[in-house]
Amino acid sequence: MSSTLSRSVFNREIREIYSKSLTLGDNWTLIVVDQNQDINYLEKSIQQLYLNEIITLIYHIIYSESFSVPVLYINIFKSNGSVFKYDEIYKFFSLKELDSDQEPILILTQQEHPILFKPFYYMHPCMTSHWMNQTKLGSDESFNFTLKWLSFVFSALRIPIDIKYALN
């Protein structure tokens, strides 16, 4: 059982998620970066009230060439245009930094976005394949691997995802 996927499978799966998003009235956008090389990603932007301030959350689902898995990139902007700092991101998602003898479940770090070349936080993909194997989420070929991964990641970050994505 493989818990990785090819770029072509990733692109097919994000198109499926995007199509379902249109049906559900969710606001994912399919971004086509390079049609010739079939480089695409999903983007979702939402605004919400947080600590008496309107913030903008941006989520990108991007394919990792190195790990052959989807990767979540996140940025959160305050109403004045400034980006959340590391400690603010961890507080917002209620994540805890663990002692050195504990293995973190989620690792959010900042790096340059691979397409936009701007700083973004991202969930490091090193554990994605391992998680997918552990939960047996990569075993059913008829179901969308990227959607399974997305529901797992969003759940861990306490980000709502419509259960109707799982329905045929």
Domain ranges of the chain: 7-160
If 0-12 CB within 10 Å is exposed, 13-18 middle and 19+ buried, where does residue 132 land?
Answer: buried
What mean pLDDT comes out for the span 124-147?
71
Q: How far apart are CA 13 and CA 28, in angstroms?
A: 13
pLDDT above 80 for 159: yes
Q: What is the pLDDT of residues 14-46, one digit of tens each?
A: 999 999 999 999 999 999 998 888 889 999 999
Nearest to 5 by CA among 144, 122, 158: 144
Higher pLDDT pick, 106 / 36: 36
CB 80 within 8 A of CB 96: no
pLDDT bracket for residue 1 (50, 70, 90):
very low
Closest CA to 123 of 87, 147, 156: 156
Q: How confident is the model at residue 57 (pLDDT cuts 50, 70, 90)?
A: very high
Q: Comparing 160 with 136, which gets the higher pLDDT?
A: 160
Q: Which fold has domain 7-160?
A: Yope Regulator; Chain: A, (3.30.1460)
Whether 68 has a pLDDT exceeding 80, the answer reads yes
Q: What is the pTM of this model?
A: 0.87
Give dist(CA 159, CA 138) in Å, integer.
Answer: 22
For the chain, give the mean pLDDT: 86
Residues facing 74 on adjacent strands? 59, 121
Q: Are 27 and 46 in contact (CB under 8 A)?
A: yes
Question: Percentage of residues in the chain with pLDDT exceeding 90?
Answer: 51
Vertex 29 angle, CA 87 and 154, to 5° = 40
The sheet carrying 39-50 orders its strands as 28-34, 39-50, 53-64, 69-77, 119-123, 108-112
